[in-house]
Structure 1
């Protein structure tokens, strides 16, 4: 079954896509990655998304417009990927409602009807809220994918995704959680100072020096001391948060970025050290930041840092591939959540389905979930 996964994460920079042909035999689910790609948001749309994020005010008229415009952008991305049997679209998270340490709601925009109309394929969407309604955090959903991928690795292993927010899955404990910001604060610093999107290859951070005083203040954030399951996002780590913490120091941009990179490296490394992980499979845009990876390796020297590419999963497309998997699971009537990772009361089948052009036809439900996940070349 060929399933297209579509994902835009907390960097809000564009739409990642991955088409995977899935087949299962003897409990092993095999994926053939046929396509991966990224379609950047048009500048005006990205600016409107950023302007609508908390703590900025917005209104329902803009929410409606964004739901349509993001849905159309996802349809554009899907159309570039060719025919598939099913699409699974994460959409774009605009708000994750966390109150007193509990997630009470979540909102992803990107109306799936636009994707179904454009491609003719049925679309699975709105996946996170099912976990939230069962008492979960709605994140990290990718933990299900991680645990299957890590199943064959020796020793204590984990999976780390470095997007806007960093999340870690610990295989032997069956837990997953957000460790804190990955690129979210770095990107906010670059945007405020230059109008750009990110520090390409960490060049600016490489030219700066870590300010230990600011780093100490940043590490005092209470979120880092909370116990999993837990989740965070730009509801906490937003540009206003950065301005409040960093403005008293008046650092030049390279020094600020070096310090923020150290923050990400240290908050992740603390968790790697705490769980005594021997191998950490890393994905997300942060893999391509050599300054961040170097800092992480130095702060977690006992762990082998392994790009997910080496397991057949392109690091830049892992989350899109994971959502392709979630679509396959939903189509076959299988849950795609791990209660120990999200805090839900039990595993749940995720998402709602928007029919394509023809009658909605799904495969026969499967009784047994896959026990292992492997990827092979085309």
Structure 2
């Protein structure tokens, strides 16, 4: 009996000792993840390269690098990759923030445009525009206005061309009023034009989201029904033929050289404001050719009546209820009757301004070609040559 009692006590002691051992192991074991354990690394430090490690890689300091890699459990290749990625990122950032220099070879039509508007007007930073040809070698892009260089092609062909320099074919006129540049099919890298398929799209104007202040602008008071300001007159123009028929059925107030009523720039805008409808008749009809003749009345609070490309082309850029297309009516007489009806019905007339509750029209600016060129070059680094520019512009 005594032996059994002693045996039971031994077993109880053994069990107690085992329990104490387990508890001690659970709460006090050395952790391989403890930062105090020699050579250990916390989970938060795995694959993390410290600044010392990165600097060691950059400086090729093998001893510091060895200690850094051991302490951080990071492979040398992974550390070098991190440094390479960081350097590439910094280089790309420096390139993005670097100044872009655009050389204007000849001012369009001999009229210099503002060179400091890229950032305040278009939000395009670090763009410098100059006409100083001594900067030619430094220029990232050279802007050539087609109308002003058509007789300079032999000279341009002999100019040294730098591999990273872009030559920009710039033009805003329609093909009917633009010269072909013979021998220049492979001379340019980029195009800047009103055409939507240009590399650098620069239309005559824009319709964009309006601010609350712009939405509150009222329609100007009108004292004329239909107006037209025109100086370039040719009896063979479609617009002239249409006008001759339209004016038989509705009175049109005419201004400009053709009507012997020359007006100043200020009067030009005042006349458009004073008319309910303005004849925005283009002198030639081509895809995307929607000129200031349309955007001026949109900006000034007048309804444009357009002759130009098909209505569908206009509607790509302008709200469909913001203008009247002559093709909306079978004959000039039908159009005249509609204009007179809108003159008598304020609800019909005001419906042409519903788009202004959401949008606003803006006029293009001559310096936009240069500013947008800066923007394009900063965002696009690919090789580019524009083959057969004459075929693209005059035949498509």
Normalising by structure 2, what TM-score?
Answer: 0.29
Kindly indicate whether structure 1 or structure 2 has the higher relative contact order, using CA contacts under 8 Å at least 6 residues apart.
Answer: 1
Q: Name the structure where helix makes up a greater proportion of residues.
A: 2
Normalising by structure 1, what TM-score?
Answer: 0.30
